[in-house]
Amino acid sequence: GEYLKAIAERNPALNAYITLDEEKTRAEARAADARIAAGNAAPLAGVPIAYKDIFCQTGWRSACASKMLDNFVSPYTATVVQNLLDEGMVTLGRVNMDEFAMGSCNENSYYGASRNPWNTARVPGGSSGGSAAAVAARLAPVALGSDTGGSIRQPASHCGITGLKPTYGIVSRFGMIAYASSLDQAGPMAQTAEDCAILLNAMAGFDERDSTSLERAKEDYTRDLDTPLKGLRIGLPKEYFAEGMSADVQKTVQAAIGLFQAQGAQMVEVSLPQTGLSIPAYYVIASAEASTNLSRYDGVRYGHRAAEFANLDEMYGKSRAEGLGSEVKRRIMIGTYVLSHGYYDAYYLKAQKLRRLVADDFQTAFKECDFILAPAAPTAAPLIGSSSDPVQTYLSDIYTIAANLAGLPALSLPAGFSSDGLPVGIQLIGNHFSEARLLGAAHQIQ
């Protein structure tokens, strides 16, 4: 009730929620109350949550912030959402994002940009901008996001909250609308690492309906929250500190180094020599996968269909021309190009090789350190309307995309403020399956 009231008051200015259904929310809350009263409720019963519009959910419009899916009410529910519904968590609504999760500012949404609660002239970041804005503005205690190249960590940094991209494969992708399947991973966004750990406990698990889901024993991701940092080795990649980082971000990273050292952690310099290759590799691979994943939006079975057409080809063409936004079209064009005969070896195959080199860099670095400390983004949140050059925007993903290419867990936590009062986060990247300790390290300095 309190959250719905706050949403009614503040959401018009923030545009974080793009779909609300008070009746459904209240029905879920009553069901949770009944379970609590009957004494058979899970610990998260009754806790409200906001879902990024990328997660399919029965009976809710699941549009991925695209005109193409504006009329799509999902007939099924994503596994990760179902896991949380089974806990008794209550859906507050569906939150804004860049169309099909392509972007870093939330300005690519069919429903208009969401705004940063700290300063509404600024973007909340993206693509999970609505999730970050909702949590930061206390319009939800927690939210789900998805991260293909930084879309959980970068908006978390811009909005002053905590967000985790888990190891690839530990959270089911079934029912999460696909952007780049080998990189996409759902994760928790919350005020604290502790809340992220509690949420991840309910989210993670094997799912036979996701072919890349990992079959592993259940873990308790809260187990290291109180583990001291003494002796922890934190790697500082020298390539990350060479150039491109704003003074605000530099100052914040330095402050975080101080906090870690004060608790007995040890700083070591490491090297990730292929850092410069990660952006070209990512944009080739992500666009290639996007071009195939998005071929399903043809206006035939569901989604937008052009009103007038002379034949089948024209129906496909017009439906896609009308239904998809310009950034999505750009990715489809790039992806189709790099996968086409004659260019496949030169671009797609080459990018796959670079991906391996980027991943190998991390394995070498993790011989010398437990976690890598890095910025989450080169600057604090930019002004709305300031990111008109797509290549410039792609370059701002430099600190986040390598973890996706390597399938590594990484989180972003609030660590300071810019000179004009905007939150700035830092990032911790760990080796595969190190979530518990990663969340613990964040918790210790929070």
Contact yes or no for 199/169 (Cβ under 8 A): no
Which one, 153 or 437, has the nearer CB to ligand GLN?
A: 153
- Residues 374-403 contacting ligand GLN, CB under 6 A: 397
116 forms part of the interface with ligand GLN (CB under 6 A): no
**Residue 102 C-beta: closest distance to ligand GLN, Å:** 5
Which one, 131 or 151, has the nearer CB to ligand GLN?
A: 151
**Residue 370 C-beta: closest distance to ligand GLN, Å:** 25
279, amino acid identity: I
Nearest to 269 by CA among 240, 231, 309: 240
- The token duo for 177 is 């609308």
- Residues 77-106 contacting ligand GLN, CB under 6 A: 101-104
Contact yes or no for 153/147 (Cβ under 8 A): yes
- Residues 359-378 contacting ligand GLN, CB under 6 A: none
**Spatial separation of the C-alpha atoms in residues 101 and 184, rounded to whole Å:** 10
- The token duo for 4 is 């719905």
Which one, 74 or 104, has the nearer CB to ligand GLN?
A: 104
Strand, coil or helix: what is 140?
coil
Nearest to 309 by CA among 324, 295, 301, 320: 320
Interface residue with ligand GLN, options 28, 87, 107, 147 (CB under 6 A): 147
Question: Among the candidate windows 3-11, 26-34, 145-153, 380-388, which touches ligand GLN by CB under 6 A?
Answer: 145-153
145 forms part of the interface with ligand GLN (CB under 6 A): no
**Spatial separation of the C-alpha atoms in residues 96 and 91, rounded to whole Å:** 15
**Residue 319 C-beta: closest distance to ligand GLN, Å:** 23
What 219-222 contacts at long range (C-beta under 8 Å, 24+ apart), as own/partner pairs, is 219/435, 219/436, 220/436, 221/197, 221/435, 221/436, 221/439, 222/194, 222/197, 222/198, 222/436, 222/439
- Residues 284-343 contacting ligand GLN, CB under 6 A: 286
- The dihedral over CA atoms of 113, 118, 121, 127, expressed in degrees to the nearest 10, equals -30
Strand, coil or helix: what is 162?
strand
279 forms part of the interface with ligand GLN (CB under 6 A): no
Q: How many residues bind ligand GLN (CB under 6 A)?
A: 13
Dmax of the chain from CA atoms? 71
Question: Among the candidate windows 143-151, 213-221, 380-388, 436-444, which touches ligand GLN by CB under 6 A?
Answer: 143-151
150 forms part of the interface with ligand GLN (CB under 6 A): yes
Which one, 53 or 194, has the nearer CB to ligand GLN?
A: 53
**Residue 397 C-beta: closest distance to ligand GLN, Å:** 5
Provide the sign of the torsion angle of the four alpha carbons 388, 394, 395, 398, taken in this order: positive
> Which residues, listed in sequence order, are joined to residue 428 by a DSSP beta bridge?
373, 411
125 forms part of the interface with ligand GLN (CB under 6 A): no
Which one, 129 or 416, has the nearer CB to ligand GLN?
A: 129
149 forms part of the interface with ligand GLN (CB under 6 A): yes
- Residue of minimal Cβ distance to ligand GLN: 151
Which residues are the active-site residues?
A: 52, 127, 151
Site string for ligand GLN, 166-185 (x = CB under 6 A): -------------x------
Query: Binding residues for ligand GLN, per CB under 6 A?
Result: 101-104, 127, 147-151, 179, 286, 397
